[in-house]
Amino acid sequence: MLACVWADTRHRSGGADRRSASDTGLADRHAFEAACGLRPFERQIRVLALCDVEHLPAQRGPRAQVQRRFAQILRANVREGDHVAHLGEEAFALALRQIDMANAQALVQRIALQVQEQLCEGPEADAPEPVSASFGLAMVREADTLAIAMHRADVLLYQAKEGGTGQVGVDEVATEAA
């Protein structure tokens, strides 16, 4: 399942155009796509991160609680002007403006650490395995459409998950340029 985190400034400022996903308070897919635009590079978006929350509790109540807490962690870590979205179930997205790949990696590693620290207690601690998050980070190139950048981030997310839970897949072009 595709997951992405998107910090939406309209969410922070109470913008009228905001749509929220479930009860996380984050933007949904439609609001995320509108905020990114067809060409995200033109809106200063430089890294697109997709995220899967792994080992969500099976029961609806505890699952929703973990989703809300994960959304809070995301919002607390993104900067004003970034966009965060809950795409569905375990999938979240982040559109990060004016950032290089090294700083984007540091951001998602900080988020992953907070997930370990904050989501491995309470009802979610009873899960067979601790809650974790895997990420796919794609550089947004000038010619990229949102669909192309999201596809690349999705491929990187699945490559990361092949290495186990709590992994980060990074766009190789971005790491070569650094």
**CATH number for the domain that contains residue 128:** 3.30.70.270
The total domain count for the chain is: 1
Least confident of 127-131, 136-140, 165-169: 127-131
**pLDDT confidence tier of residue 122, bands split at 50, 70 and 90:** low
**pLDDT confidence tier of residue 146, bands split at 50, 70 and 90:** very high
**Closest of 13, 53, 52, 11 to residue 34, by C-alpha:** 11
**pLDDT confidence tier of residue 11, bands split at 50, 70 and 90:** very low
What is the distance between the alpha carbons of residues 53 and 37, in angstroms, rounded to a whole number?
25
pLDDT at 17: 39
Name residues whose C-beta falls within 8 Å of residue 78's C-beta, 6 or more positions apart in sequence: 5, 7, 84, 94, 96, 107
Domain that residue 63 falls in = 9-177
Of residues 124 and 17, more confidence is placed in 124
pLDDT at 116: 87
- Give tens-digit pLDDT for 17-52: 345 556 899 999 999 999 999 999 999 999 999 999
**pLDDT confidence tier of residue 140, bands split at 50, 70 and 90:** very high
- Is residue 4 in a domain? no
Highest mean pLDDT range out of 33-47, 62-76, 111-125?
A: 33-47
For residue 140 the two structure tokens come to 């947004």
Q: Across the strands, what pairs with 170?
A: 137
- Is residue 2 in a domain? no
- Is residue 139 in a domain? yes
What is the distance between the alpha carbons of residues 144 and 33, in angstroms, rounded to a whole number?
14
Kindly report the average pLDDT of the chain as a whole number.
Answer: 85
